[in-house]
Structure formats: structure tokens, C-alpha cells
Structure 1
Amino acid sequence: MTGARSGESVPPAALFLVYKFPDLDHLVPVVTRLAKEGKAVQVVSLNPLLNSEDWRIKHLQQLDGVAYDSVYRLGHQTQLEALIGWLLTRPLFRASFRTGGVIGSLHTWFGQRLITLLLIRLRGAVGSLGRRFIYLPVMRWVTPRVFGDSWGLRMLEFICPCALVVDHSARFSLLVFGPLMRAARSKGIRVLALPHSLSLFAGHTKAYALAYNRMKAAGFDAVVVPHDRLKDDMIAHGMDPASIKVLGSARYCHEWVQTLHKIVVREPPLVKKHGGLKVLYMDRGADRHGHFKDSVQRTLLTLAKLDFVNLVYKPHPRSNKVWLSKLSGRVTMATKTDSVNLVRWSDAVIGTVSSGLVEALVQDKTLIYPAFLNDEQMLFDELGACWRVEDLNQLTSALKALRVGGNSRPYSSEALKGFENLAIFGGMANRDVLGSYVDLILGQGEQ
């Protein structure tokens, strides 16, 4: 099967490989800037489960010179590749049903809520069976054997990119990253790794040790990081300093934030109660709470019981899973509402590690850092760009103060500016962040 690529007569400036939506949050700004500068870009999804109706994908499809498709149905394919690609991109494992006809008439007899519940159960059962017996076996056992190095070479010859752009998590053993990165090496195409988050650690951390080892093994031509603190930690873990480029944060730079806030339609979360101080808790990635897990749950349950607090819990978007089981039914869970809208809704944001906390600072919302729930050294805390609390009593007192005093908080605009300069501009005040990313991809200028 031959899919359309960007700019049939002009090779794309870059081929972007995307895997999860949080990765897109940090890559889409760069693609957008390339398109604005008239460059052709090809974006391919390595994950058949990505929802094509997501706003990020729709935004890419509206950009002139940008083509988006699944990697499994693009380019010159053999019959077997085309068959497997067709199977992977079918919605067999995401079966959905619409109420209508006979189903609609049943509402008269059983009631809409019962029929809706039955349809949800049926859809979930069919989708689960499809994923278990079709999607997962094909992805795990068939795909690596069909989409190999020969396919990777043909894919790059079809697209002819000047650079292959991935995120930090790319590795040879993950999906089809390996064949495409090896093909790029053989053809002299640069492989650039861009950040898929904004690290908020102030210094050395064990959290990224495995990721650093994988990046070293991948041997990227350049690894882009938002700030020097992350670069220093990478060097301490044995990464080559010459390959690390400090360019700031594409996701949180002014240019993209202004665009993003126009794109994301306002949609407040569905809350269980109204009124009171609107408080958002943004959880960390994966289940890395360690010995703080019970303390986090007790803290959130206590806050949820406060009559003047309207608490919403946001799981980390990379997994979108609620790892704190005791919260179920007691705290409002926001698994479907975008972080931008959650911060818009909130009066205060609480969290420890998630890079989504930066959205609170960008929107000038009060950021509360519960230091008693984390043993890492955080950048916003070191720079004084948050309201640090040492225990549950101080946290409750801070919320009471906000309830009474509005936007009063103990950190200054100068502290926020210092955080912005270091973490978002990469240490260079008012840097053209996206322009720096584009220059690196195009091989222009000294970085």
C-alpha cells in the first residue's frame, strides 16, 4: 500500500515518529513551527491505538505541508506487510455501538440507563477480546518479524527525510523504532531525540537511570533537553556531553502556549460538588509513589472531606491510570479532561513531580508543593516558584488562606521569572525556543 507523504516533490525536512499522546504534546509544537516556516513534515504513528479524533492529530492534519498516517500502512509494502498493516489499523479491538433502531426502541421497555450500561459492557467485552486475541498477539509476535530492516529501508527511501525525529523513550526494542533507526544510520540520516516531558528534578535523580542507559545504547546524533540541570544529570550518568543540546521547552514556551490555549476548547471537569476552593491534584507518572503512597492517599482523602474544598484528581497522562485505589468513589477522577482545562478550572494546583505542574505556573495559578510527599529535589522548589508546605496541617492552612485571601501566595513574580528562564528558555532569557529546535532539525546554526 502506498500512502501520501508530505510534499511529493520535496523531501520532508523531518520524519517524526510518535507513540503516545504525551509525546505528541512536546513534538507537535515543533512540527507546527516547521510548517509555519514552509517546511514539509511527515508524522507517523507507531501505535495503532492512537485515537485519530484527538485534537493533537486533528491539528497536525490541518497544517499545510504536514502529512500524518500510521506507519503500518504507509509506503511501498509487500502483500504480507499490507495485510498485517490493515489488520493492525482495524477497529476490531475497539468495537463501538450506536443506539438506534431496535436498540433505541428498547429504551421504552427497559429504560435508557439500563440499555446504555449493557452496551458499555458489551463494547468493553468485545474490545477486550479483540485486543487479547488479535491486537496483542499481532503486535508482540508478528509485527517484529514482518516490519524488519528491509521494510525500514524501503520506508525511508519512500519518505526521504532529512532527519529522523523521535522522543527520548525511543529504543531499538520498542515496536518498529529499531528498523527505522538502523535504516537511518545506514543512509546517513541524523536521528534526533527530543524531550517528551519537562523534567522538574533539580539535580541528580535515580528516576531516569534506565532511560539514560537506553539513550546511550540508542546512540542518537543529538539529544535535546530543556535545561542544564537535566544535561548535567545525563553527563553524570555517562552520556556524551557533545550530543546534548539545551534548547528549552517546546511544550511550555510562549509561542506554543498561546497557540495551544486557542486550540483546546474550554471544558470544565465533571465534579461531584460545586462551590468552594477548586483544587487540582496532579499525580506523578507510573506507580512511583514508593513509601509515600499511603501518605498521598490519606492526604487526598482528608482534603476531599474539607467542606470548603472541591478536589479533583488528575492521573499522569502517560498511563492515565489511577494508582491510588483508596480514592475510588471518594475523590473526583479526571481521566478524560485535558490538563489545560483542569488548570483553567482550578484555583490551586497541588503536585510533586508531574511536568503538568508547569501549566499551573504558565496560567498563573497557585502551585502548592507538598514536600512531605516527595524526597526528590525539585526545580520549582529550589527556585522558590511554589508554595512549599511541610505537612498536612500546613497544606490545609494554605488552602484556607487561599479560600479567604484569593490569589495571595508566598512566592514572587521574580521567582516565577527565574524558573521560566531556566526551565522553559533553557537558561537564555527570551530565547526563540521553537526556532532553536527548527535550526537543529534543519542542521542550521551552532547549538
Structure 2
Amino acid sequence: RGFRAVSLPHGDSPHANQLIRRREWVLKPDNTFAAAQMFDKLVVPNELCAGRFRPFLEDQAVSVLGSPRYCDEWLTKLAEFLPISPLGQSDSKLKIAIFLRKSNFTTFWEEVSEVVQMISAFKGVEIIIKPHTRSGWKQSLTKEAALTKLSNVSIADNDTHSAHLLNWADVIIDIATSVAFEAVKINKPVLAADYLHAGRSTVANFMPETELRCRDDVYKKIEGFLSNGCDSFYIEEHRALFLEEMIDVNGPDVLPQYVALLEEQIKVKFA
């Protein structure tokens, strides 16, 4: 009794806009986040996340400390835990990983299928689609006959972790998932397929050069990667701002800031 309650981060806000789920029609503060009032301190990785809670909390109750999931220290540690990849060597000229969003987010699945089929028609391309970890089984795309019959398209199984795919792929196609943040961090090209869903992705918001606005954009980007390779994809000023605002908010030593905050809360309790 009397201990202070602290809410630690869940998620990194891959969407820059608010109305992203089915039946979300009203643009106003979401009362779901008012539940954060039960905590003495709310800790979030970035200001996009903080903005959801600020209408319901005093400023001093919110701390923005950077991303514990995508900071340097945790990515280094995570690599030590990662099982051996089930993905073998590939001779494909361009390897593409596509990360899908949870089923409750509005996604234009017909066009996702069209895009996968179009990309698969390029010579030398290989595609692996990663269903969402927690609800991928609800996505009919992964069982669509038009895709499953394609020899250069496969669906990742449960033993293939996102980090395996990030290491395997040359390019990531993102439908607004935070996994893309790690790809940006390691300077691997991300194509933010914003026209395939109802949101505005954080990646595209910071780095317009990543955004796909139509099927023509997809074609041109894939053609460009095949012709010119995948180096020098980002405008470095844009990428640096993304890392500063979304991951290394107060500097690259992110995890020590979380430790310091928790220790301070203990001191307050026993003061």
C-alpha cells in the first residue's frame, strides 16, 4: 500500500493520425486513454504516444523517454536472445518482407493482394509476408489462392520472427507497423504503403521519400531497387529527425532513463 504506480510503454505509435480502426469516425480525444489517470506516472516513448494521454493528464504526470524497444542497447541485447533463423540463403536479386497490421485496423486487402501479385511478376524478386503476431490468423490474405500459388511468395510461420525477416530482406514494405522502426534504425529501405490502409504512417510522416501513394509508386520503387540497388535510400536529414523524435528522444542512452525514473518513484514512496 502506498506504492506509486507507473505505466510503462506498450507500442511506439506507427500511425501519425488518429482514425485508423474500423468504426472510428469521430476526431476527438479518445476516452479509452483516460484510464491512465489511475497511475502516478505515465511513461511513453515519443510525443505521438503522449498526445493520446495529454487531454486527460497533468503535464508532470507524463514522461517521454524514447523507445525501449528500438533503442541501441535493447537491439543489441535482443540479438543475443534471437533463435537461429529458419530462413535459408536466397539467390533472389531483391528480397522483400511485408509486415501486416492487426485485423482491427482498416486495411484495403484487395489492393494489398494486387500489389503482392504485381511485385511477384518482377524477375528476381522474392516476397515473404509476415502476418501480425497476435491476430494474423484472422487475415484472409494469407490464405488467398492467388498468392499461395505463386512460387516466389511465401507466408512466414510462427518460428520466423520479425528480426529474422529484417535480417533477410533487402526492402521492407510496411502497412503501418512499428517493426519498420527497426528497419529505419539499421538504414534498411522501408516503403510506407500508406495507400493500403486508412492511416498516415509515422515513417512516411517523417520521411516522405518512403511513401507509396498509388500502385505506380510501388512499380517505380521496385524497378528502381532492381536497377540501382538499395543503397542511399533515405534523405539522411529526414531519417535523423525520425530517430531523434521517435527513438532517441533524450539521447541514445534510453534504458538508463527508465531505470532512473523508476528509482525516483521508489524514493518518492519512501520519502
TM-score tier by shorter-chain length is 0.7 to 0.9
Equivalent residue for 2:73, pick from 255, 268, 274: 255
Q: 1:439 and 1:415 mapped to 2: Cα distance?
A: 30
Matched, 1:389 2:203: no
Q: 2:120 and 2:104 mapped to 1: Cα distance?
A: 21
Equivalent residue for 1:246, pick from 64, 69, 78: 64
Contact 2:12 2:49 in 1 (8 A): no
Matched, 1:334 2:156: yes
Displacement of 1:424: 0.3
Q: Report the counterpart of residue 170 of structure 2 in structure 1.
A: 347
Displacement of 1:347: 0.4
Q: Report the counterpart of residue 284 of structure 1 in structure 2.
A: 101
Contact 2:183 2:190 in 1 (8 A): yes
> Structure 2 stretches of 5 or more lacking a match?
none
Equivalent residue for 2:9, pick from 195, 212, 224: 195
Q: 1:266 and 1:362 mapped to 2: Cα distance?
A: 22
Matched, 1:434 2:255: yes
Q: 1:385 and 1:421 mapped to 2: Cα distance?
A: 16
Query: Structure 1's 305 and 264: CA in aligned 2 closer, same or farther, altered over 3 A?
Result: same
Matched, 1:367 2:181: no
Q: 2:110 and 2:46 mapped to 1: Cα distance?
A: 33
TM-score by length of 1: 0.52
Contact 1:315 1:322 in 2 (8 A): no
What percent of counterpart residues are identical? 25
> Structure 1 stretches of 5 or more lacking a match?
1-186
Q: 1:253 and 1:259 mapped to 2: Cα distance?
A: 10
Q: How many residues align?
A: 254
| CA displacement 1:167-193 (0-9 Å, x = unmatched) | xxxxxxxxxxxxxxxxxxxx1222222
Q: 1:270 and 1:294 mapped to 2: Cα distance?
A: 30
| CA displacement 1:223-282 (0-9 Å, x = unmatched) | 21111122123224x3444322111100111111122223324415369x8523100001
Equivalent residue for 2:113, pick from 297, 305, 308: 297
Q: 1:354 and 1:257 mapped to 2: Cα distance?
A: 17
Pair member with larger Rg: 1
TM-score by length of 2: 0.82
Equivalent residue for 1:232, pick from 41, 51, 58: 51
Displacement of 1:406: 1.3
Equivalent residue for 2:247, pick from 421, 424, 427: 424
One-letter identity of the residue aligned with 2:179: G
RMSD of Structure 2 on Structure 1 (CA): 2.8
- Which has the bigger relative contact order, CA under 8 A and spacing at least 6? 2
Matched, 1:220 2:39: yes
